[in-house]
Amino acid sequence: MRGGPGLLLAGRYRLTDRPEPLRAHAVDERTGESVLLSALELPGVLTVGQDPDEAAAARADRLVRRVAAVGSTAPVAHPRLLRGVGAFVEDDLLWTVEERPAGWTVAELLAEGPLPPYRAAELAADLAGALRALHAAGLTHGALTAESVLVCEDGAAMLGGLLAGVAEEALAEELGGPGGRQRYEVRATLVGPVAERWPLDGGPAGDCWALGVLTQRLVTGRAPYPERDVPELVTAVRDGRREPSVVCGPLGPLVERLLQPDPVRRPTAEAVRGELAELLAGAPEPVDEERAAAVVALDQAAPAVPRQPRVRGGRAGRSGARGSARKGGDGGDFGAGNGAKPPRIPPSLLGPLLVGGVFVLLALGIVAVVLFAG
């Protein structure tokens, strides 16, 4: 794609950064919203610029209307579903437009490494809620991938890519027909070896299967099926050749059911969301890893000094120290907490010293009497 920041597309979308080959961030000048533009290259036979035939224009318009129809049907009010804005054809490209708040795609997060199982469960629960809303509206997503999921700044996952997926499927059908080898080849070129995009069946059950694939990817950093090329991937899915779901830890049993070949045996999006809610309710308390690392670093950097014996009752806080002092202690810091110093003479020697002092005084008195009398 040519152009850069400031370029206006469709008389409405102003690019805000240098675009990737088929993706660009922009601002909708009508609404002021940040949007993501995704493009598909159209063969010359479909574009008005290369073929003035009205039939070609009609085919391109049919693609746009098909994408727009899905966008208008989607439950735009769902908090975990990115809203599709529309579609248009420009510069031999079929563009889809989707709202894009600040955040990172799951693909970007996984580039830093896999996620802990319970964090993956939180994201999967958000996605199951979005799928449930789509299925209730009579729609299938069909394009759930690490690229189509956005993790917002508040940590919530939002499902996008609906219109882009519809555009890919529509173009594959337009070029390859409703089924058969030609459509498969076109779709393989458009979609590529992405495991989530190749379920054995479509519809809501296919979306749930894709959610199982993505959940395992979240926990392990990789798909449960080989992704070197489309033929190998499709064969592995058909034969059930995959990495065991036990690698997902507490999510393993759920992922195992989601990846069942028989769609009837897979849980629905609503059931998945309920099961994940129960799992998260029993999750262990999160550990502040940054604070723990800082404590370890400080401990390692501290100078080596002899450790003092641990004091019973004291050091637990100001009240604990004062309580120990009131009791007189049992080998603890006597008077700790009020600044008092320990006595110079041990209490056990006070008695003998007092008696000895009396005898000394008596002896001195006798000596004095003898001297004065003599």
Give the separation between CA 13 and CA 345, rounded to whole angstroms: 88
Checking if the pLDDT of 261 tops 80, the result is: yes
Give the separation between CA 174 and CA 208, rounded to whole angstroms: 27
Radius of gyration from C-alpha coordinates of the chain = 37
Average pLDDT over residues 15-34: 93
Kind plus residue range of the DSSP H or E element containing 36: strand 34-41
The number of C-alpha atoms within 13 Å of 14 and in the hemisphere containing its C-beta is 8
> 308 with 250: CB under 8 angstroms?
no
pTM (2 d.p.): 0.75
Give the separation between CA 334 and CA 315, rounded to whole angstroms: 13
Predicted confidence (pLDDT) per residue in 105-131, tens digit: 999 999 999 999 999 999 999 999 999
Q: What are φ and ψ of residue 105, in 5° steps?
A: -70, 160
Give the separation between CA 26 and CA 39, rounded to whole angstroms: 13
Q: What are φ and ψ of residue 41, in 5° steps?
A: -75, 130
Average pLDDT over residues 26-55: 80
Predicted confidence (pLDDT) per residue in 290-323, tens digit: 544 544 454 455 444 333 333 333 322 322 332 3
Predicted confidence (pLDDT) per residue in 205-245, tens digit: 999 999 999 999 999 999 999 999 999 999 999 999 999 99
Average pLDDT over residues 278-288: 81
- The count of other CB atoms within 10 Å of the CB of residue 246 is 10
Q: Which residue, among 141, 124, 153, 120, has the nearest Cα to 199 in the 3D structure? A: 141
Predicted confidence (pLDDT) per residue in 160-210, tens digit: 999 999 999 999 999 988 888 999 999 999 999 999 999 999 999 999 999
Q: What angle do CA 173, 177, 179 make, to 5 degrees?
A: 90
Burial label, 184 (beta-carbon count in 10 A; 0-12, 13-18, 19+): middle
pLDDT of the residue at 58: 82
Cα 102 to chain centroid distance, Å, stands at: 14
Give the separation between CA 57 and CA 78, rounded to whole angstroms: 34
> 210 with 147: CB under 8 angstroms?
no
Checking if the pLDDT of 265 tops 80, the result is: yes
Kind plus residue range of the DSSP H or E element containing 105: strand 103-105
**Which residues have CB under 8 Å from 198's CB, separation 6+?**
191, 230, 233, 234, 237
CATH architecture assignment, domain 8-281 = Orthogonal Bundle (1.10)
pLDDT of the residue at 351: 60
The number of C-alpha atoms within 13 Å of 211 and in the hemisphere containing its C-beta is 36
